[in-house]
DNA sequence: ATTAGAAATAAAATGCATTATTTGGCTCGG
DNA sequence: CCGAGCCAAATAATGCATTTTATTTCTAAT
């Protein structure tokens, strides 16, 4: 009853020996990476809901390895914002913190705006063709109501778009922000994906036309539309600053002193 | 204490046995943190110059502990951008990369701008008093030419200022950017600290007056003045975007390679 | 009898000593 | 002079020991 409502988790990552002919296959370099990947997917897919306690020994036993790689993977995920933990007390999947989410929202607009700006300036025809492809994949997946495929295409669409900006550090920060962002809430909503398809179209059209202002506006609309969904779903108050919060954990992983 | 000075490296941190009566003392919770703190300080102070290879066993022996905490500390520092490493090949102190530094510069202006904006809006008299104190400490240290103390006060000045903004994620990103930024180059320059004192005064004055635009302008000037120093020191080309070069890898001398 | 406080206990993370893998250089053979 | 294969060094992984935290239980006082 722990892992395994989906086939891919039953055999998390198989034996080390794999036919080396398939070069593109998912062959990990270290076990730490395998564990990190596995946990990331399990968290993002909702298999470990927010607030779930992740015990080193348990994870290690599930994946049939010793706990050392698990600890290091947990540290990595903590740095990436997927989980939060404090010393000797273990790690939990980051709970929804409205105050933090508002900050994340603003940072996303700020940083993804930079990425769009550079992407519009640098995009080649080939870049646009790739982005177009992922946009179509996303639209198709939404039409088929294949939510897993939709999530994947959506990810690839944004990733490809931002990759053309050629700002690796900014992109890295944005990915951390994604990890902290309540996509799980957004994805639960029925009509959201359909709207997102239109927003992608608008964004891509502006990019193709080289319309910088239009692209940045479209991006802003896209992000804010998602946030509006979150607000509706979580019953946060209106537009006023979120005075009502959840904030049930200290959310300071690294430096909470014993005596304060 | 974060940035200390040289002498403290000889005796990294005094054994676990400490008169436990002094609770306020620097008492770490885990050895991993001790190691991380030690290495951060050593890197920022220039004790380990860029490119230095950090061997787990070596560090462990120096600090008289086993390699496990060292490993985890290295992973943490890698996530923070102090070092870069690849599997089975070890970690090196991150080398200077001009293209990355330019991106870091722009991100600093963007994010620290946000922090200043919120800080100006939220600062209380007590906050300003604390910041004033660190600014004076910095000025005094510069006057005495105590560069280690100057570095520490400078850090505390900015940290305190940004802490009042109450944007933990943004602050966290900024600290990562600091780790990646070539302060070692800036700190080598003679007159830089004196100018920095004036810039701090200007910034603080604008904050006290609640002059948002003035504060953001002062910040921008402060950051860009430091960057100008870097450009002078490293002989990067003029003001045009650094599309090209520098990227000098010290291993090979002047031999030109055919195709890479 | 009920509850506050302290001590014992259980659970889970951190740290250590050791073994197993990987990498890069070096030698030996062509 | 170049390439395949061995050797040394460093990192990654394992299993076990230690330390810390949280819970439970026992005692004592109101």
Question: Does at least one atom of strand C sit less than 7 Å from the CB of A26?
Answer: no
pLDDT at res. B188: 86
A142-to-A148, A183, A220, A236, B28 alpha-carbon distances in Å: 10, 16, 22, 28, 51
Burial class (CB in 10 A: 0-12, 13-18, 19+), B97: middle
CATH 1.10.20.10 fits B6-93, yes or no: no
Question: Does at least one atom of strand C sit less than 7 Å from the CB of B38?
Answer: no
Domain B98-234 sits in CATH at 1.20.120.530
Distance B88 CA to C21 C1' (A): 9
A147 touches chain B (CB under 8 A): no
Question: What is the DSSP track for A34-81?
Answer: HHHHHHHHHHHTTSS-TT-EE-HHHHHHHHTS-HHHHHHHHHHHHHHT
pLDDT at res. B196: 96
pLDDT at res. A25: 43
Nucleotides of D under 7 A from a protein CB: 10-16, 19-22
Nucleotide nearest B30, CA–C1', reads C14
Is B75 close to A71, i.e. CB distance below 8 A? Answer: no
Question: Does at least one atom of strand C sit less than 7 Å from the CB of B252?
Answer: no
Give the CATH architecture of domain A27-93. Orthogonal Bundle (1.10)
Mean pLDDT of B72-92: 93
More confident residue, B193 or A41: B193
Q: Which fold has domain A99-234?
A: 1.20.120
Question: Does at least one atom of strand D sit less than 7 Å from the CB of B210?
Answer: no
pLDDT tops 70 at residue B39: yes
Is B168 close to A103, i.e. CB distance below 8 A? Answer: yes
What is the full per-residue pLDDT of chain A (260 aa) written as tens digits? 333 333 233 323 333 333 333 333 456 889 999 999 999 988 887 889 999 999 999 999 999 999 999 999 999 999 998 999 888 898 999 988 889 999 999 999 999 999 999 999 999 999 999 999 999 999 999 999 998 889 889 989 999 999 999 999 999 999 999 988 988 888 888 889 999 999 999 999 999 999 999 999 999 999 999 999 999 988 765 554 444 444 433 433 333 333 33
CB contacts < 8 Å between A and B, how many? 58
More confident residue, B16 or B109: B109
Among residues B122, B131, B102, B117, which one has the least CA distance to residue B223?
B102
**Total-model pTM:** 0.80
More confident residue, A228 or B258: A228
Distance A28 CA to D11 C1' (A): 16
The percent of residues above 70 in pLDDT, for chain B, comes to 80
Task: Name every chain A residue with its beta carbon within 8 A of the beta carbon of B122.
Answer: none
User: Where in chain B are the domains?
Assistant: 6-93, 98-234
A109 touches chain B (CB under 8 A): no
Residues 43-102 of B with CB under 8 A from A: 68, 71-72, 75-76, 79-80, 87, 100
pLDDT at res. A239: 52
CA distance A196 to chain B (A): 27
């Amino acid at each position: 009853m722990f892992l395994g409502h989906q086939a891919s988790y039953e055999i998390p990552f198989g034996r080390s020996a794999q036919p080396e002919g398939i070069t593109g296959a998912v062959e990990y370099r270290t076990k730490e990476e395998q564990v990190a990947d596995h946990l990331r997917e399990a968290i993002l897919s909702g298999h470990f809901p927010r607030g779930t306690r992740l015990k080193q020994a348990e994870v290690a036993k599930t994946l049939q390895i010793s706990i050392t790689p698990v600890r290091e993977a947990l540290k990595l995920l903590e740095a990436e914002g997927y989980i939060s933990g404090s010393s000797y007390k273990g790690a939990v999947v980051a709970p929804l913190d409205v105050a933090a989410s508002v900050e994340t929202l603003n940072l996303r607009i700020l940083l993804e705006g930079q990425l769009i700006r550079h992407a519009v300036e640098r995009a080649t025809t080939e870049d646009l063709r790739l982005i177009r492809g992922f946009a179509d994949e996303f639209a198709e997946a939404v039409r088929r109501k294949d939510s897993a495929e939709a999530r994947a295409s959506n990810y690839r669409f944004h990733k490809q778009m931002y990759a053309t900006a050629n700002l690796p550090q900014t992109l890295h920060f944005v990915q951390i922000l994604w990890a902290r962002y309540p996509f799980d809430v957004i994805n639960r909503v029925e009509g959201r994906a359909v709207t997102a398809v239109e927003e992608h179209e608008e964004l891509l059209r502006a990019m193709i036309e080289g319309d910088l202002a239009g692209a940045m506006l479209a991006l802003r609309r896209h992000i804010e539309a998602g946030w509006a969904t979150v607000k509706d779903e979580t019953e946060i108050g209106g537009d006023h600053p979120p005075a009502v919060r959840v904030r049930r954990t200290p959310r300071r992983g690294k430096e909470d002193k014993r005596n304060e």
